[in-house]
Structure formats: structure tokens, C-alpha cells
Structure 1
Amino acid sequence: MNIKQFASKTGLTPRAIRFYEEKGILKSDRNSGNQYRTFNQSHIQVATKISQFRHLGFSIDEIATMLKASPALSIESVQKNIKANLKKLYKEKEATEKRIQQTEALLEASQEGEGLSSAQKNLFKSMAYSDLREWSLKYLNEGLKQKSNGPVEQLQMVACAYADLIVKHNMGGLKHADYAESHRLIAKALGRAKEPKLAKRHEELAEAYDNLERDPAYYDLPV
């Protein structure tokens, strides 16, 4: 179809079509005989995307940047991602609300001197160790951000990484992913301390715990 027909089908003016071509977000074909612009169904789809994004308030430059990064991008694909992210946020909200309720119940029980349930004991221990773990992780992460570390600092980083694992273990109620995270931190610290063999072992342990998280039947833990 020619530019007039394309304009009729898309609701765009010829001037807008030429402007979109100049911006590189709409690329027409050329008739080999007369070099006139020609358009097909794929061009209509792109024009529809542009119109949809414009209705949402995006500028032409913003649309050009998005389509250049992901030519297959569409309102539908973004909406799908939004829905998935919203679902994740709702789950996190539910988990947070449950955690708040548990913490409130723990505070009330501890203030009244009541016996704690097994779950409350684990939560109590996590609160008791939270300051130590926060300090250890802060020191370790600050050290990892530096380009290099001295021998004493390297040993302290390794100690902090192992402390994180010990504290997590004492807290109880952890998932395999939590242990995987700790072993990766230990591996990073050992890497800085120039202990590649030990670092590799902890990377393998982290990978094994990741496998356990995905499949509880997995049992091949390094020894």
C-alpha cells in the first residue's frame, strides 16, 4: 500500500508518517520501480504500537528508545510483565503482613512472660542475632566493594562471611536459598583472601543448595 492508503488505515497523517520515519521508529519499504514509499501489515502493527504508547503519554524519543531496545515490545507484553510484577508484590505484601502479625504476637508474648511456640522461638532468635548479622554483612559488603584488601581485612571478611552462615543456622527456619546465599558470600570472601580451592568448594555448596531449593529430592551435596 502507498502512503495515502497507509495513512487511511492507521489514522496517521502523511506528515506524521514521515516524521516517524525520520525518528527511525517507522521504516517504510521502497518501490523498486519508482522509489515511492510502500507499507504492509507489519508497518501497521508498528504504527499501532506508536499510537498506543503516545496515548500513554510517551514522547516520540522515548518510544524510539524502547522499540530500538526491544523491537517486539508491545502494550500487551508490558501489561503481562506488570501483572506478573503485581502478583509478586501481592505475595510479598502477604508475607510482610504475616511477618508483622507474628512479630506483634512475639512482642506481646515476651512482654507477658508467656511460653513461646517453636515458631516464636525461631523468630526470637532471629531478632536476637539480627544486629550481629547486620554488622557482619555490612563489613563484608563494604570490603567487597573495594578493589583490594589487606591480609588482616581479608581474614576479617572471611570471618564475617562464616559468621553470617553460623547466625543463619542458629536462627533456624531457613530455606536452602538462604544457605546458598551464605556460601556464595563465603566464596567471595575466600576469593579475596586468595583461597581459590576453598572458594570453589563453597560455590559448589551454594549451587547444591540452589538445586535443593528447586528440587527437594536433590541430594548431591559436596563432601
Structure 2
Amino acid sequence: MKVHEAAAKVGASPRALRFYEEKGLIAPVKQDDNGYRLYNDNDVERLRWIVALRELGLSIAQIKNALASIDKPSAFLEKVDAARGKLYEEWLAASQMLRAFDETLARWHQKENISLDEAEAAAENIRSIRSLRDKWSDKWDFDGIARQYGTHAPLTVLQHFISPSAYDAALAQTLEWLDPQMEEKGLELGAGSGNLTMLLAESGAQLTIVEQSAEMLAILRQRVPQVTARRGNMLSLPVASSHYNFIATSFAMQYLDRQQQLLALQEMDRVLLVGGRLVISGLMAIESGSQPADEPKSRNHEEAAHAITPSTLSELTGWLKQHHYDVVSRHITESIHIIIAVKM
């Protein structure tokens, strides 16, 4: 069929089809005698995918990347999952810009005067948040660690700082303090290969997990197929606002720097319902400037020590109290603490 017929079948314009061809998304056969494009059934099916994914918000580059794996469902899902996370990041950034714009505009209306200083301050705040998100990177190669160590991957990363028994105790106390109930909507962040997830899922709660490593997610989906697993970052959660009864995160905050940890708290606050529970467990120093009491297990792993940023207990609890949470904390070992907070 010719371009106009193919375009009518997929609900697009002939111009759009030519654009997709220019971008390398489709390659119809050209007739030798007149150069007209001819589209077969496979071309039309591919065009249907292109149109659908475009409407869902994927960029041309993301669609091209995903369609390269259309015959491999697991690889295709991994790519569109990553694209979904990026779409949430863009939505969240746009929402924050709009909120800052609204607040600035409201102040101008109240004073019946415009202020360049206020506009620059709002812009700098948005710039700072964007910088915090953009500068995070996976220094630890969690995909590689997941492939090599499987379900033991999370503890493998931490083995120079904590013992397996301390790790297990932290997970158990996180579950105990969280006390998830049947049918509650719960969220776990930085879920890794699913060690805490398995405990939470046994409660019957409707659990969603967020994890940035595709390989960790693959392990987790095999271990706990009943949960909703999403690829994403703690700094821009790919979930709806004001939606969850509880949030848990265990041994994940230390992979963010201190400012990013506070931004992660802001994201948790965005998605947690009033009355909801938040439990954070992991490596923590008591006060700003101090270090966790436990040293790395081996002096040969100083590089690993520099690659993490233990949370500061007083800083996290201070932020939560300032944002109207009822907060208590407990220690598991000298370097492992747990924060329990209820959103008032």
C-alpha cells in the first residue's frame, strides 16, 4: 500500500510517516520506476507501535531504542520502563517549575509589584533541584553486581561495613516498625534484589517498589512477581502524589549525598498520605560531621567507604519534624539506625 493508505490505517498523516522514515524508525520499500514508498503489513504493524508509543510520551530516540528489541519482550520492557521513568522526571520537573512560578506570581499580585530578585530566587531553587537530580550517578555498577551476586547483591555492596546478622536485623525491625496491613498501599524505595520486599509482600499489602537498576529489577520480579515494580530514582519517584499508606527504604539513602537525601525525603513526603508511615533504616551518623562508629571491615576498601554517604540521623529527623512528622529513632548497631515517622 502507498503512504496515504498506510497513514489512514494507523491514524497518522503522510507527513508523519515520512518523518519517521527520516529518523530511521521505518524503512518502506521504494519502487524502482517512480520512487513511491510501499508499505507492507509488517510496516503497518511497526507504524502502529510508533504511533502508540509516541502518544504515550516516548521520544523518537526512545521509540527507536525500544523497537530495536521488539522481538525480545524482556529487553523491550526494560527500555520502555526506563522511558517511563524519564517521563516521570520530566513531569515532576515541570510540576515544580509551575508551582514555583505560581508562588512567585502570587507574591507579585499581592504586592502589585514585580521583583527581579524574587524571580531569580525562584529560578535558582529550581536550578538547584535539577542539579541535585542530574549529578547522581551509579558509581557502584549495581547492574554488574546484580548479575554477579544475584539475591546477595545488596549485602555484597555493604559487606565491608556491616555483618549479615546486622543486615537481617535491620530488615526485620523495618518490617516490625512499619507493620504493613492487608490491602494497604505501600511503597519500597531502593528495593535492590528484593530482600525487604519479600517480607513486606507477605503482609498482603498492595506493594509498589522503585529501583534504578534494571538487573536488580529483573531479580526482584522473579522473586516477588506479585508486586508492582518500577524502574526509577529516589530523587524523582515515578509514582502519583499522596497515594501511599506507608513507605519503606532500607540501606538505600547512603547512595545519595546529603542534599540528595533531603530531596529524597521531599519526594517521599509528596507521595505519602496524611497519617501515613515512613520507615528508613541504614547506615547513619548521629550528628552532622560525625562518622558512623563502625569502621569498614577492611582497610583495603577505603574507596568503597568514600563512595557512600551515611545519613545524618539528626538532619533527617530534623527535616521530618520541620515538615510535621511525629518521629522516633532507634539504633540497631552503633552505625545502623532506624527512623520511624508518621505524617501528621
Which structure has the larger Rg over C-alpha atoms? Answer: 1
| Structure with the larger RCO, 1 or 2 (CA within 8 Å, 6+ apart) | 2
Q: TM-score, length-normalised on structure 1?
A: 0.37
More strand by share: 2
More helix by share: 1
